[in-house]
Amino acid sequence: MNPLEKLINPVSIAVVGASSNPLKMATLHLLSIMKDGYKGRIYVIHPKEASVFGLKTYKSPLDLPEAVDCAFFVIPAHNIPETLKDFGTIGTKRAIIISAGFKEIGKEGKLLEDKLKSTAGINGIRFLGPNCMGIVNTEISLNTTIMEYIDRPGSLGFATQSGTYITQTLRYLKNHGIRLSKAVSVGNEADISIIDVLEYLANDEQTKAIALYIEGIRDIQRFLDVAITITPKKPIIAQYVGGSQAGARAGSSHTGAMAGPDYIYEGLFKQAGIIRVHSIEELFFHGYMLATQPRLKGNRVGIITNSGGPATSMANSCEKEGFIVPTFSVELQSKIKPLIPPHAQAGNPVDITFNLDLDVLTITIPELAIQSGEVDALCIHGAYRRGFVEAVYPHIREILNIQNPEDIINMFPSDLHTPGTIPQKHGIPLVMSSFYDYQDDFTKAMQDHDVLVFDAPEKAAKALASLLRYKEIINRLPYEPITLPESNPEAKAIILEAKKNNQKALDEYMAKRLLSLYGIPIPDERLIEDEKQLDGIVTSMRYPIVMKACHPDIMHKTEKGLVILPVKDSIEAKQAFQTIQNRAGYAIPVLAYPMVEGKREFMVGAVNNKGFAQSVLFGLGGIYTEVIQDATFRIAPLTQRDAYEMLNDIKAKTLLGKFRNMDEVDKDILAQLIVIVSVLPVLHPEIAEIDCNPVIISGNKPVVVDALIVIE
């Protein structure tokens, strides 16, 4: 059973630390549990007070009349292990530890956290935190945060490594019509992790989409394994903030999170099918769209507004995000034109101009567009009622002799119900924008129907795009578990020999030899170990050739002038051999092979980020790799699906197709090359880094013409 099952659905809670002082943090937690609708049994542990807000108190957990489902701690950190032990004695198996002062403060706090974990383990207790804000479970009206949450149950599940985001945001979410199903603040994750929460929410029927606020993931492989099974069935959306130096530093001091490079998380999310956003606003709004709106069937969007500017903004944003904004058919336009002024646009976007008939904007034209079969989604801007009336009321009240804004509001159409039913009635996603917020009665009515109203047209279009991203995710090739090949004995021997010689890396000849043992294409090479071998080799080669120094201590040869090309004949080959010896300053083997012709150069690599996950990259290669920086990353090892997605993920992906009289690249071979590079560090853990750069496309086949393998 998931450790959160009892924790999120307790029938009894004991709060340790609450008192009669309503300004104390522990007391605020208790008041939320008491006053926001929770029906379970509540106990208070306090050493001095006899009762707190009518609840009898107990001096110790040992005095409680039952083993509570959840022990809730807001007391000084150093007192928690002993009190937790007492809960264990009476049989309590779950705890939420709000208190801070553990590993996030440094070495001393880390020792205390280790003691906490040891005490919990001995007593069979699973706990959330420390340094967290607890949980919200709208299904049973349980709110353990310090701020009020009274709203009907929602469908967006939320796991966060910041307690603030399930506390300070609660009023904000209510104002914008966003309703949670379950929300969990994980804090330091000393025991229950954000991955455990992800697994729980995946199986929670109330939760239709999952939002994650992430400062760092400790077990990348488990996170990937869990997420990749969820996303085909339930959307996951995430914000990651640890990728910059400042973000990583703040996250570490905040919850002790171990951040990783941003580009690795970008690849991780793509690999798992997680939609990434870059602000907490987008996390909540886009997450709620995913939780409440019907799935997109296509990418055609209809735009209906009462103003040209927002119409253009929506159209522009939608197209940039991958939507088509099709011109409506003559037949559909003929039905729309009688409803709008003669000068207004009916072709899509539809601009009804200054028209206060809400029914035309939000019911009649949308349903005509849907019935035509020409749209898969709708964007509407400019629907308002009370907000507009209150804005113009000061200017018109004397002229019209009106004493109350309500007199004008009552002149407007009053059907605030039907527009909000359109998505579920027709199975068509609907998103709106308006410059009037939740205090406008039309906006509020839409929120009550789970139709979000954004405060800018571009935001509405971008949120709709998250539905398009999820459509792309569920249309991916099916996930197939990775089957690792057998490790090659000769490859093992190459690595063992290098380690025996205390090499930091394989020389290029051996690196490419190892790659070739696993089927990676390399040139037909010859290693010239000394001058005695020179004549016999260079006279038998097909020119022009490349000649380069080959030594494990020289990892980057071009910068030192130790690569010479093109070498056109045997005479030049002998001269090149001597030049390399002179530039190296000592006798050194030379690698020679026929030049590989090709104008397209890529790179494939694997790197072990210390304390993080082994990652794989694919991107543009050659001498401009660092300058152009067009690469994408994934977590190793890869499936074929992962590799094909990497090919389509770089900006220069058009180079892989037919390009300037060059044939389309054999993507099957290139994808297989990426997969092999990804599994080599798994088969041979001694490998710390692989760099195949460049991978030249010769004809339409990839060939690795330079390779570096760094040994751990």
What CATH number should be reported for the domain holding residue 570? 3.30.1490.20
Tell me if 468 is assigned to some domain.
yes
My answer on whether 122 and 154 are in the same domain is yes
- DSSP for 329-390? PHHHHHHHGGGS-TTSB-SSSEE--S---HHIIIIIHHHHHHHHT--SEEEEE---SHHHHH
Tell me if 512 is assigned to some domain.
no
Mean residue pLDDT of the chain comes to: 93
Coil, helix or strand for 414?
Answer: coil
Let me know: does 666 contact 505? Beta carbons within 8 Å: no
**Residue owning tokens 């892989």:** 656
Band of the pLDDT at 250, cuts 50, 70, 90?
very low
Closest Cα partner for 472 from 668, 322, 617, 655? 322
- pTM, two decimals, is 0.93
pLDDT, tens digit, for every residue of 466-491?
999 999 999 998 888 888 899 999 99
My answer on whether 388 and 416 are in the same domain is yes
Assess whether pLDDT exceeds 50 at residue 255. no
Q: What's the full length of the chain, in residues?
A: 712
Q: Give the per-residue pLDDT at 149.
A: 92
Assess whether pLDDT exceeds 50 at residue 652. yes
Mean pLDDT of 16-37: 95
pLDDT, tens digit, for every residue of 198-211?
999 999 999 999 99
Domain count within the chain: 4
Closest Cα partner for 280 from 214, 217, 223, 209? 214
My answer on whether 387 and 401 are in the same domain is yes
Let me know: does 532 contact 541? Beta carbons within 8 Å: no
> How far is 356 from 483, CA to CA, in rounded Å?
62
Tell me if 480 is assigned to some domain.
no
Band of the pLDDT at 256, cuts 50, 70, 90?
very low
My answer on whether 586 and 666 are in the same domain is no
How far from 631 is each of 653, 669, 706, CA to CA, in Å? Answer: 10, 19, 18
pLDDT, tens digit, for every residue of 347-390?
999 999 887 788 999 999 999 999 999 999 999 999 998 888 88
Coil, helix or strand for 650?
Answer: coil
Coil, helix or strand for 147?
Answer: coil
Q: Give the per-residue pLDDT at 257.
A: 46
My answer on whether 237 and 202 are in the same domain is yes
> How far is 353 from 356, CA to CA, in rounded Å?
9
pLDDT, tens digit, for every residue of 681-712?
999 999 999 999 999 999 999 999 999 999 98
My answer on whether 41 and 174 are in the same domain is yes
Coil, helix or strand for 401?
Answer: coil
123 torsion bin: left (phi>0), alpha (psi -120 to 50), beta (else): alpha
**557-574 burial: b if 16+ Cβ within 10 Å, else e:** beeeebbbeebeebebbb
Tell me if 509 is assigned to some domain.
no
> How far is 493 from 255, CA to CA, in rounded Å?
44
State which residues form the domain around 532: 526-594
Closest Cα partner for 369 from 432, 430, 454, 434? 430
Q: Give the per-residue pLDDT at 401.
A: 79
- DSSP for 438-500? TTSHHHHHHHHTT--EESSHHHHHHHHHHHHHHHHHHTSPPP----PPPPPHHHHHHHHHHHH
Band of the pLDDT at 555, cuts 50, 70, 90?
confident
Assess whether pLDDT exceeds 80 at residue 245. no
Question: CATH number for the domain including 383?
Answer: 3.40.50.261
Let me know: does 18 contact 74? Beta carbons within 8 Å: yes
